[in-house]
């Protein structure tokens, strides 16, 4: 039977805790970076569900929301693909952060780029649809 004295046990515990303190990853170091990806993934996810609530019309056999994308199925498909890319990139980034930080950063940048492009398409089409509703004096000025 092996007997370890109390002093030896305490010494071993101190050594173990110092080793663990050095190797323990800082889980909160990249909190803000991971929140960007998670936030973009959540916004893309909610945007797709909001799209499903819009009234659809058939354009060349494809369902297209009649409100903003009416008569523009290619822009609607681009918008949906951009939301899908945003969701995938934003969701992958936090999982890769510990082992592959550069790839995680690249995924976050791709998610931001896709979301900015999707918002640009949406706002561009919204402005095209709203421009005829403005009074003529507001459009000229």
Core vs surface per residue 7-17: b (16+ CB within 10 A) or e: eeeeeeeeeee
For residue 4, pLDDT over 60 is answered with no
Task: Please name which of 44, 41, 38 lies closest in space to residue 119, comparing C-alpha atoms.
Answer: 44
What pLDDT score was predicted for residue 44?
92
Question: For position 103, what pLDDT does the model report?
Answer: 92
Quote the pLDDT of residue 28.
Answer: 47
User: Looking at the DSSP assignment, which residues form a beta bridge with residue 64?
Assistant: 57
Residue 86's pLDDT band, with cuts at 50, 70 and 90, is very high
Mean pLDDT over residues 128-139, rounded? 69
Express each pLDDT in 88-133 by its tens digit: 999 998 888 889 989 999 999 999 999 999 999 999 998 887 777 7
* Helix boundaries (H) for the chain: 6-23, 31-52, 73-96, 101-130, 136-140
Share the mean pLDDT of the chain: 80
Q: Which whole number is the average pLDDT over 21-41? A: 63
Single pTM value for the model: 0.69
């Amino acid at each position: 039977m092996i007997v370890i004295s109390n002093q030896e046990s305490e010494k071993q515990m101190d050594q173990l805790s110092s080793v663990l303190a050095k190797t323990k990853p800082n889980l909160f170091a990249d909190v803000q970076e991971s929140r960007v990806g998670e936030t973009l993934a959540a916004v893309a996810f909610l945007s797709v569900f909001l799209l499903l609530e819009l009234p659809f019309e058939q354009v060349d056999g494809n369902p297209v929301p009649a409100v903003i994308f009416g008569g523009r199925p290619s822009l609607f498909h681009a918008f949906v693909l951009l939301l899908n890319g945003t969701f995938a990139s934003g969701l992958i980034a936090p999982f890769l952060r510990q082992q592959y930080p550069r790839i995680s950063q690249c995924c976050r940048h791709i998610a931001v780029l896709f979301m900015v492009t999707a918002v640009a398409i949406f706002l561009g089409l919204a402005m095209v649809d709203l421009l005829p509703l403005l009074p003529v004096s507001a459009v000229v000025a």
